[in-house]
Structure 1
Amino acid sequence: MYAAFTLVVFICLTASTHADHHQPCHAPNMTGFMSVVSIKGEVKAFGAFTYDSIGKKLRFRSNESYPHNASIGLDVLMLFDEGIFYEIDSKNQSCEKKALRCIQHPLDIPDDATFMTTVNAGSSSIEGEGLKISAWTGSMADKKGTYFMAVTMECLPVGTFYVYESSSFLFSLTEVDIEIKDPDLLVVPPICLGQPLEETLEGTVHSFLNEFM
């Protein structure tokens, strides 16, 4: 986790922008684990994710048994195309339906991202001991922050670093498979069906990223 943090920060500080012919790629369907760590080293969340790149859906469930006492217990289903998401509490059989105001998330490169550089992590001369990654950057949708994203040549995200004035976070991925192992995780749970859309307070921006701030 912290190795990924160091890698992303190094890329952010040393990379220079290359030619504009590089176009952002888009990640495939994925299943894996995601950790969220603040710049101060606090583990905000750790858990399993399932991502449907075609249907634009993301399920993330934090693991309360994670040994580092992650501060956020979270189960969310993001439906990006529909502009809504659900906060799910299976233990208490409750669910909240909210408007999704920002669709940025750490599993896909935004279309307006700027290519920075391509680097080899580890060794490029020893088989199986290196990873070639590309780095991308851009502004947040609200223009109040900047992101730096590292992905493999097959467009699998390695880590995304979000920088705000008040806080900064690293999202890193591990044990990624390019398939949806359990499609039911991306179906709206029965306890959420029929839930009314909650009113959004003025000035509130709901997004996947805001769940960790």
Structure 2
Amino acid sequence: MEVFPEPERSQILLVWRLCNFLTMNFISVLSCLSLLLAVGVAQYPKPCVVPELLSGGLTVMTGDGLISSTGLITYDALGQRMRVKNFGIGDNQDFALDQLMLFSEGVYYESNWKTLSCKKMKLDSSFIPMQVPSDAKLMGQVFMGSSSSWGMGVLTNTWYGSLPENGIYSTVFTEIGCIPVSFTSYTPQSGWLTVSTFNWVIGTSNPMDYLPPDFCANSELEETETPHNFFTVMESLAMKSKRVE
């Protein structure tokens, strides 16, 4: 079994040969050990999973510009639930769309605060946390901002992959902390969609976020197609917003 892949093994051998040419005093020994450790642990970014509790803001924009919204998102991997509240404009009308996903119960609430209407639908009970998909491919690693000095930028990884029904996506996460930054997708059905997130805080400040609105109490469970994970929820938001009355 190989401890290191071929590229990393070659780098380690190169550093070791360099160490052999150095005068092996105490300081140089420590320097070589530091170099070997750095090379040994160096590797390409791997798909990651975000913190278990998150709260933040987001904006959603469709490629044709007909739908734009901003809102709030709360995420709870421990309780297997998520809520997205969006306020925006679609088809020259403003809307307030509230999406509550209770994966552990297999229930999905879609509420319209403007009309005080609510739909209760079945949700795929297989909980998929907000994450970089395991089959995603690395597009690249860049600094957002500047790397010239501490605090001027943040190191991010961009991933891409395919969605069902001939769709594609790209998504950006921070290298440290695995914090989501943006998500862009395209499907023939919904077109282009871009979701940008900001002001993330680790934790949940309001447990009431995971309770459906009062006007959903009498809603009957409907049979309908439902999103399967965070990415398809964001993709479907544009299509659902166009149908808000």
TM-score by length of 2: 0.65
The RMSD of aligned alpha carbons is 3.0
Q: How far off is 1:25 after superposition?
A: 1.1
Q: 1:44, CA displacement in angstroms?
A: 2.4
Q: Determine if the alignment matches structure 1 residue 173 to structure 2 residue 162.
A: no
Q: 1:8-28 deviations in whole A, cap 9, x for unaligned?
A: xxxxxxxxxxxx964321112
When Rg is computed on C-alpha atoms for both structures, the one with the higher figure is 2
Structure 1 residues 59-106: Cα deviation after superposition (integer angstroms, max 9, x where no partner): 111235x8xx78543111012344321012345543211123598999
Which residue of 70, 73, 76 corresponds with 1:49?
73
Instruction: For residues 96-143 of structure 1, give each alpha carbon's deviation from its aligned partner in whole angstroms, at most 9, with x where no partner exists.
Output: 111235989994322332233221122112221111001111222x24
Residue 233 of structure 2 is aligned to residue 198 of structure 1 = no
Aligned equivalents of 2:80 and 2:216: distance in 1? 19
C-alpha separation between the residues in 1 aligned to 2:194 and 2:127? 14
Aligned match of 1:211: 237
Correspondences of 1:1-213 after superposition (within 5 Å): 22-28=45-51, 29-63=53-87, 72-90=95-113, 92-100=115-123, 107-140=130-163, 142-153=164-175, 154-166=177-189, 167-193=191-217, 195-200=219-224, 204-206=225-227, 208=233, 209-213=235-239
Distance (whole Å) between structure 1 residues aligned to residue 101 and residue 111 of structure 2: 11
**Which secondary structure state, in structure 2, belongs to the residue aligned with residue 109 of structure 1?**
coil
Q: Percent identity?
A: 32
Q: What letter matches 2:118 in structure 1?
A: C
Which segments of 5 or more consecutive residues in structure 2 lack a partner in the other structure? Answer: 1-42, 240-245
Q: Comparing both chains, which one has the higher relative contact order based on Cα–Cα distances under 8 Å and sequence gaps of 6 or more?
A: 1
Secondary structure in 1 aligned to 2:220? coil
Tell me the amino acid that sits aligned with residue 187 of structure 1: L
Q: Is the 8 A contact 1:77 1:85 kept in 2?
A: yes
Q: Which has the higher helix share?
A: 2
Which runs of no fewer than 5 residues in structure 1 stay unpaired? 1-19
Report the TM-score, using the length of structure 1 for normalisation.
Answer: 0.74
Report the Cα distance in structure 2 between the residues aligned to 1:210 and 1:101, rounded to whole angstroms. 15
